[in-house]
Amino acid sequence: MKSIYFFILFFVFLFSNALQSQTATDAFRFSQFDPLGSGRNLGVGNSMYSIGADLSAIGNNPAGIGAYWRSEFMGSMDVTWNPYESRLKGDSSIRQSSGSYDYWRMPNLGFVITHQPVNSDFQTSNWAIGYNRVAEYAQEVQFSGYTQGSITDSWSENSFGRDTNQLGFDEALAYSSGAIYDLDDDDV
């Protein structure tokens, strides 16, 4: 019996180097919490999670549904309008683009069923099923336009007259990878 545990432990350590976890970027992105919840929850500054008696609380504090005395069906909708405007740096004659990024979403939807049993020590028995949106990961950025030159020209212009220790992040990466270089060995 001990040999089986030994072999299991051996294989766990043998294959542990193949295990992968989330990166630091993923950990940061998933740690951001931007709940919407119901209008009641937003009206009190997202504090219904601790107060209870709101279907938004089911995601963070399921004990909050214990404060219900009547059954409830709840759904909320959110409409967002984000205007944007972009133009190329430098030349104001270059065409600019503008518009709006509009979308609607349903932050939560669900119901609570409340039952008040007769001849029992319990005052109520509450059951809830709900859907709560806690974050928005759908992002898309597009850019189109025409400019004189390329990104390497931009890096070269930004690093002109600077020592290699004074370069910005993008310019330093471009210099160390050989995308831009100093022909005369005076300054980049």
Q: Are both 182 and 103 inside the same structural domain?
A: no
Is 18 inside any structural domain? no
Question: In whole angstroms, what separates CA 119 from the centre of its chain?
Answer: 48
- Whether residue 97 sits in one domain with residue 180: no
CA distance 76 to 37: 8
Of 96, 80, 76, nearest to 146 by C-alpha is 96
pLDDT at 188: 46
Contacts of 84-89 with C-beta under 8 Å, sequence gap 24+, read 86/143, 88/145, 88/147
Residue whose token pair is 């993923």: 26
> Is 8 a member of any domain?
no
Cα dihedral sign for 4, 10, 14, 17? positive
In a domain, 34, yes or no: yes
Q: Residue 179: exposed, middle, or buried by beta-carbon count in 10 A (0-12, 13-18, 19+)?
A: middle
Q: How far is Cα 70 from Cα 116, in angstroms, rounded to an integer? A: 9
Cα-based distances in Å from 123 to 13, 62, 69, 114, 186: 52, 18, 9, 10, 83
Position 94 scores a pLDDT of 61
Stated pTM of the model: 0.49
165 and 78 share one domain? no
CB atoms within 10 A of CB 64: 22
Q: Are residues 70 and 111 in the same domain?
A: yes
Looking at the domain assignment, is residue 168 inside a domain?
A: yes
Same domain (yes/no): 142, 173: no
Confidence at residue 18, expressed as pLDDT on a 0 to 100 scale: 66
If one counts the domains in the chain, the total is: 2
The predicted pLDDT at position 113 comes to 92
Tell whether 107 and 185 lie within a shared domain: no
CA atoms within 13 A on the CB side of 184: 6
> Would 12 be classed as within a structural domain?
no
61 and 127 housed in the same domain: yes
Residue 4 falls inside a structural domain: no
Co-location of 68 and 157 in the same domain? no
44 and 60: one domain? Answer: yes
Nearest to 97 by CA among 80, 83, 78: 83
| Regions of the chain short of the pLDDT cut 50 | 188
Name the residue range of residue 62's domain. Answer: 23-146
Q: Is residue 156 part of a domain?
A: yes
